[in-house]
């Protein structure tokens, strides 16, 4: 049947999402979801959407939601773009802002969807190696480019780049767009959204999938100068004018307004992370410093894939990446509830003891 495919499809290397197993009773620590449910206010807002208005298309501009996001960040609604998960926002960013003659730059170890978008949209890119401590070094990005993108904290390492370093990059790189993907910033980082004011080439993306516990609703957003947002709207309205349904718009707006719940859940995850890191180090694991809701760990002399497979036999799933080979000894483990973390530590204790 592949004879029917377009040439573009033949050339694609699609992203491989983390497994979403259907098996019951798994401890799922592989895709950085929240171990807690969303705010009750979100659930109420979703219930209120069940009714006859579902026969009508949703607001194509997601105006109420954009206003709520703008308020949260001290911005104007025209500085906000929303999409069906930040993956969709990022896809529009690559096509609308990062496709130029010069290559887009991103780290060699980073969110593995970035090269996939480049493949889809035929965008020239260069991967910039992280330094030996798995950090982004801004000096490596000070060269001609068609745009720069990286997550902060980075994924899957969890390592955070200081705000002053992002400022240094922005001061030196003014003729192409710099995208900071803040999917995980709420778990220990400092957002660079306030830098948007002085730096019109800065675009910051966020997701509600992690710190707002709404991976199932599929909402992400970008903030930046209205001129950058306009480019994203032009792409969106050439692709799908209604990317967010009525539930997504209402639920996400309610999430934006419940600061107390958001703060409490982030705090819980951050505290659990500190305990888990201490326990893992106690077992002899090396843990990279993490500002995210996951940790990146290795056990000296042991293969990450092997440990991950043994965890799986005990119904605990974590994420392992084979590429690039430098990260193959590692596993990326999402911070679960304290109970889940304790179960993980017990399983690992057995696994590392039994060579
Ligand atoms: C760095 C990074 N950016 C963006 C995303 C996409 O998030 P979503 O499409 O759920 O908003 C992820 C998801 O895991 C991620 O790790």
CA distance 80 to 222: 6
**Chain-centre distance for alpha carbon 230:** 23
Q: What is the pLDDT of residues 3-23, one digit of tens each?
A: 999 999 999 999 988 878 877
Question: Tell me, what CATH number does 210's domain have?
Answer: 3.40.640.10
Do 227 and 109 lie in a common domain?
A: yes
Do 130 and 217 lie in a common domain?
A: yes
For residue 207, name the pLDDT band (cuts at 50, 70, 90).
very high
CA distance 80 to 143: 29
**pLDDT (average), residues 181-194:** 98
Do 29 and 71 lie in a common domain?
A: no
Residue 193 token pair? 């959204």
For residue 228, name the pLDDT band (cuts at 50, 70, 90).
very high
Q: Is residue 13 part of a domain?
A: no
Q: Which residues share a beta bridge with 27?
A: 316
Do 226 and 314 lie in a common domain?
A: no
Do 44 and 33 lie in a common domain?
A: no
DSSP characters over 167-202:
HHHHHH--SS-EEEE-TTGGGT----GGGGTT-TTE
Cβ–ligand 1 distance for 220 under 6 Å, the answer yes
Nearest CA among 35, 279, 315, 30 for reference residue 155? 30
Cβ–ligand 1 distance for 29 under 6 Å, the answer no
| Number of domains present in the structure of the chain | 2
What is the pairing mode between strands 294-298 and 331-334?
Answer: antiparallel
Measure 86 CA to ligand 1 centroid, in angstroms. Answer: 6
Q: Which of 226, 257, 288 is the last residue of a domain?
A: 257
**Phi-psi domain of 74 (left: phi exceeds 0; alpha: psi -120 through 50; beta: other):** left
Q: Which of 257, 278, 311 is the last residue of a domain?
A: 257
Hey, whose CA ends up nearest to atom 12 of ligand 1?
183
Question: Tell me, what CATH number does 270's domain have?
Answer: 3.90.1150.10
- Which backbone phi and psi does 328 adopt, to 5 degrees? -65, -25
Do 170 and 276 lie in a common domain?
A: no
Q: What is the pLDDT of residues 270-317, one digit of tens each?
A: 999 999 999 999 999 999 999 999 999 999 999 999 999 999 999 999
Do 49 and 26 lie in a common domain?
A: no
Q: What is the pLDDT of residues 124-165, one digit of tens each?
A: 999 999 999 999 999 999 999 999 999 999 999 999 999 999
Q: Which of 87, 107, 136 to mutate to test the pocket of ligand 1 (most atoms within 8 A of CB)?
A: 87
Do 84 and 137 lie in a common domain?
A: yes
Residue 52: Cβ within 10 Å count: 6
Q: Range of 32's domain? A: 18-37+260-353
Cβ–ligand 1 distance for 155 under 6 Å, the answer yes
- Could you tell me how many residues make up the chain? 355
Cβ–ligand 1 distance for 157 under 6 Å, the answer no
Hey, whose CA ends up nearest to atom 7 of ligand 1?
86
Do 49 and 146 lie in a common domain?
A: yes
Measure 57 CA to ligand 1 centroid, in angstroms. Answer: 26
Measure 324 CA to ligand 1 centroid, in angstroms. Answer: 19
Largest interatomic CA distance in the chain: 61
Do 169 and 218 lie in a common domain?
A: yes
Do 271 and 349 lie in a common domain?
A: yes
pLDDT of amino acid 22: 79
Residue 282: Cβ within 10 Å count: 10
């Amino acid at each position: 049947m592949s004879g029917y495919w377009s040439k573009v499809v033949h050339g694609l290397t699609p992203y491989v999402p983390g497994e979403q197993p259907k098996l019951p009773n798994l401890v799922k620590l592989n895709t950085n979801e929240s171990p807690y449910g969303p705010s009750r206010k979100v659930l109420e807002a979703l219930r209120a959407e069940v009714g006859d208005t579902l026969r009508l298309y949703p607001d194509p501009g997601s105006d109420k939601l954009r206003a709520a996001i703008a308020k949260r960040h001290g911005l104007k609604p025209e500085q906000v773009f929303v999409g069906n998960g930040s993956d969709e926002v990022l896809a529009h960013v690559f096509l609308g802002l990062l496709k130029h003659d010069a290559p887009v730059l991103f780290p060699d170890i980073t969110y593995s969807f970035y090269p996939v978008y480049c493949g889809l949209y035929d965008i020239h890119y260069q991967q910039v190696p992280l330094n030996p401590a798995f950090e982004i070094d801004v000096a490596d990005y000070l060269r001609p480019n068609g745009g720069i993108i990286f997550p902060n904290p980075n994924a899957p390492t969890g390592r955070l780049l200081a705000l002053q370093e992002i400022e240094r990059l922005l001061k030196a790189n003014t003729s192409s767009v710099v995208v900071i993907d803040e999917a995980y910033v709420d778990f220990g980082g400092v957002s660079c959204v306030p830098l948007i004011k002085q730096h019109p080439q800065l675009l910051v993306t966020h997701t509600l999938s992690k710190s707002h516990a709404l991976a199932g609703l599929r909402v992400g957003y970008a903030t930046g100068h209205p001129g950058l947002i306009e480019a994203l709207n032009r792409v969106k309205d050439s692709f799908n004018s209604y990317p967010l349904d009525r539930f997504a718009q209402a639920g996400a707006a309610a999430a934006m307004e419940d600061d107390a719940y958001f703060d409490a859940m982030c705090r819980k995850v951050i505290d659990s992370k500190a305990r888990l890191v201490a326990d893992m180090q106690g077992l002899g694991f090396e843990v990279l410093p993490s500002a995210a809701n996951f940790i990146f760990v290795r056990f000296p002399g042991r293969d990450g894939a092997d440990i991950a497979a043994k965890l799986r036999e005990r119904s605990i799933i974590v994420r392992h990446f084979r590429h690039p080979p430098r990260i193959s000894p590692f596993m990326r483990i999402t911070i679960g509830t304290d109970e889940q973390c304790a179960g993980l530590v017990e399983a690992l204790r057995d696994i590392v003891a039994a060579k």
